[in-house]
C-alpha cells in the first residue's frame, strides 16, 4: 500500500463542554474517492474545518502529504494541496467568474514558488477551468447571475484551480435536482480521474453510493464505520444511527 495522502490520528475538537469530534482516525490514499456521511450534527463539517485549518483541532494530529499541518493556517494548507468547496457557496461576489478562478491561481499556483503563470497563461487557465465546469460563456458575469447548480460548479472550479491533491466537497449537491446531482457527480468523477483524491460529504445516498470507493460514517463525533459502501450500509450500528432500533 502506498503512503497515505491524508492521515488523521485521534483527532478531537471541543466547543466548550460539547465534544464535536472524539478521537477520529481516518486515512485517505492518493486518488481515492471517499464518502463521508453521518446524521446532522454528527461532526462532518467540524471535521472538514479541522482538516482545512478553518478550526484548530484540540487533540490528535492531521498529517497531509507527509507533513504535520496542525498548526498551519487555512491558506497554507491550500498551498500544500488541500482544497475545499463550501456547503453554502461562498463566491467572491464583486468579482467576475474568471476573476473568482484567478484568485487561487494567483495565491496558490503562483505563490508556491517555481514557475509562475504569465498574465496570458492565467487568462487561458481561467478559461480552461470555466470550460471544464461548463461556465465558459459566463466568464465575465458576476456570481449573482448564476443558478444554484452553476454556483456549485464555480465553487468546485475555484477549488480545483489551486491544483489540489485532495478535494473536500462539503455537500456540493445539497438542494439540487436529480439531473443536477448527476452533473456534479460526473464533474467530480472527471476530477478524480485527473488524480485528485476526493472526500465527498453528502446526504444524498444515491450519489454517495455510486461515487465512493469507501464510506466513512460519523455519528456524534465518533467514527462508527469505515469500509466498502455496501458493507457499511448493512452495518447494524449505522442502520441504528440513521433509523433507530
> Using CB under 8 A as the criterion, which residues of the chain lie in contact with other proteins when the complex forms?
52-54, 73-76, 78-79, 83-84, 86, 90-95, 99, 102-104, 106-108, 110-111, 158-159, 161-162
Of residues 89 and 229, the one with the C-beta less far from other proteins: 89
Residue whose CB is less far from other proteins, 158 or 223: 158
The strands making up 6-15's β-sheet, listed across from edge to edge, are: 18-28, 6-15, 59-64, 67-68
Least CB distance to other proteins at residue 23 (A): 26
Q: How far is the CB of 238 from other proteins (least distance, A)?
A: 30
* Least Cβ distance, residue 33 to other proteins (angstroms): 21
Closer to other proteins by CB, 146 or 161: give it. 161
**DSSP designation for 113:** S
When the beta carbons of 73 and 190 are compared against other proteins, the nearer one is 73
Nearest approach, Cβ of residue 162 and other proteins (Å)? 6
Give dist(CA 235, CA 230) in Å, integer: 9
> Chain-centre distance of CA 170, in angstroms?
5
Residue closer to other proteins, measured from CB, 83 or 217: 83
- Reading the block at residue 188, the C-alpha cell is 467530480
Least Cβ distance, residue 60 to other proteins (angstroms): 22
Contact at 8 Å (CB) between 103 and 92?
yes
In what order do the strands lie in the sheet containing 33-37? 82-85, 166-170, 197-201, 33-37, 214-219, 222-227
- Closer residue to other proteins, CB minimum distance, 13 or 79: 79
CA distance 183 to 190: 11
Task: State the minimum distance, in angstroms, from the CB of residue 126 to other proteins.
Answer: 13
DSSP state letters, 122-160: HHHHHHHHHHHTT-GGGTTS-GGGS-HHHHHHHHHHHHH
Torsion from C-alpha of 72, 74, 80, 81, nearest 10 degrees: 150
Amino acid at each position: 500500500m502506498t503512503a497515505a495522502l491524508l492521515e488523521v490520528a485521534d483527532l478531537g475538537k471541543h466547543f466548550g463542554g460539547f465534544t464535536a469530534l472524539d478521537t477520529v482516525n481516518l486515512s485517505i490514499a492518493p486518488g481515492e474517492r471517499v464518502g463521508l456521511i453521518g446524521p446532522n450534527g454528527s461532526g462532518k463539517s467540524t471535521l472538514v474545518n479541522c482538516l482545512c485549518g478553518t478550526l484548530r483541532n484540540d487533540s490528535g494530529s492531521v498529517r497531509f502529504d507527509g507533513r504535520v499541518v496542525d498548526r498551519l493556517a487555512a491558506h497554507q494548507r491550500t498551498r500544500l494541496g488541500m482544497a475545499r468547496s463550501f456547503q453554502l457557496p461562498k463566491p467572491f461576489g464583486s468579482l467576475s467568474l474568471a476573476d473568482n478562478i484567478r484568485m487561487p491561481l494567483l495565491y496558490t499556483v503562483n505563490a508556491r514558488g517555481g514557475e509562475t503563470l504569465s498574465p496570458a497563461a492565467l487568462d487561458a487557465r481561467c478559461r480552461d477551468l470555466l470550460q471544464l465546469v461548463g461556465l465558459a460563456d459566463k466568464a465575465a458575469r458576476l456570481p449573482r447571475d448564476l443558478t444554484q447548480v452553476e454556483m456549485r460548479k464555480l465553487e468546485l472550479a475555484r477549488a480545483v484551480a489551486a491544483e489540489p491533491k485532495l478535494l473536500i466537497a462539503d455537500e456540493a449537491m445539497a438542494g439540487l435536482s436529480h439531473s443536477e446531482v448527476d452533473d456534479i457527480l460526473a464533474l467530480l468523477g472527471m476530477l478524480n480521474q485527473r488524480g485528485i483524491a476526493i472526500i465527498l460529504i453528502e446526504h444524498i445516498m444515491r450519489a454517495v453510493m455510486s461515487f465512493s470507493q469507501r464510506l466513512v460514517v460519523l455519528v456524534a463525533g465518533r467514527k462508527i464505520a469505515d469500509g466498502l459502501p455496501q458493507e457499511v450500509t448493512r452495518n447494524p450500528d449505522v442502520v441504528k444511527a440513521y433509523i433507530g432500533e
